[in-house]
Amino acid sequence: MLVLVAPGQGAQTPGFLTEWLDIPGVRGALEAWSDAAGLDLIRYGTEADAEEIRDTAVAQPLLVAAGLVSASLLFEDPADLPRKVGAIAGHSVGEFTAASLAGVLPHEEALRLVRVRGLGMAEAAAVTETGMAALLGGDPDVTVPHLTKLGLTPANMNGAGQIVAAGTKEQLAALEADKPEGVRKVVALKVAGAFHTHHMAPAVHTLAKAAEALTPGDPKLTYLSNADGQAVSGGAEVLERLVGQVANPVRWDLCMETFKELGVTALIEVCPGGTLTGLAKRALPGVKTLALKSPADLDAARALIAEQRA
């Protein structure tokens, strides 16, 4: 069984969309989504530097657009996606990519809503200087209480020996000086705030207001939520969870546990792939993984899809 996954913020790199523009139809799709988001996705995906695309309000729509356009190239017929993919999930903002691919929101609506999300989170992040750091190694039973003691939130429980802590710059500095027992390394992430914590509460309200105008559809395939790794079958609940997830921890570890229970045999990560396939290689031994990093990966991805059953 094949699962499709979409990465979150921090996966973007300067110029990562450049090669995709050579494929017929990609430029037109990105132009339409740029209009929907009120953001020049083509310029940001090809010409902008690392600092420009680090901006939360830019990075989030850019990542969702990249995921949508790369996923669309995997199947000759769009209707094949729900037929050939057994389950779908996204990490953090990647949940918007996954929800749209599952049919919960049209692509243009997803881009409009994620732009609101990015702007709201950027505004919330500007109130206090905050950030995030990945902890590599260690035991969650030891690490989580240590983070709590320092006033930090385990914002991403990623599994495969990785937890991402979030909080103020002072709290993160204290973590660097006092790592939990067993943690090999603390790596600062290229994000502009303490996402998935109480610091993002104002953005939840902003996003909820924007979501009121939408009429979501039910997912056309198994959609897993970051809240608890469980499948959600109703579109209204998916949308509600997308809104609330902004200020609550990402449980990617539980998503991968559900992949195991579903009997996953292959995992493809849409552009800009790499982060989630890395986690899957450690947490899901025996599962074939493929990251869509450039158009050169499409043929291998299509071949992997052909091997699987939905």
Give me the active site residues, please: 92, 196
C-alpha count within 13 angstroms, C-beta hemisphere, residue 232: 27
Q: What does the block give as tokens for 277? A: 């396939």
In eight-state DSSP terms, residue 47 is T
CB distance 174 to 268 below 8 Å: no
Residues 6+ apart with CB under 8 A from 220: 82, 102, 103
**Alpha-carbon distances of 42 from 39, 54, 180, 274, rounded to whole Å:** 9, 16, 42, 21
Q: Cα separation of 304 and 289, whole Å?
A: 9
Give pairs for 226-229: CB < 8 Å, separation 24+: 226/89, 226/90, 226/91, 226/92, 226/95, 226/250, 226/251, 226/252, 226/255, 227/251, 228/254, 229/253, 229/254, 229/255, 229/256, 229/257, 229/258
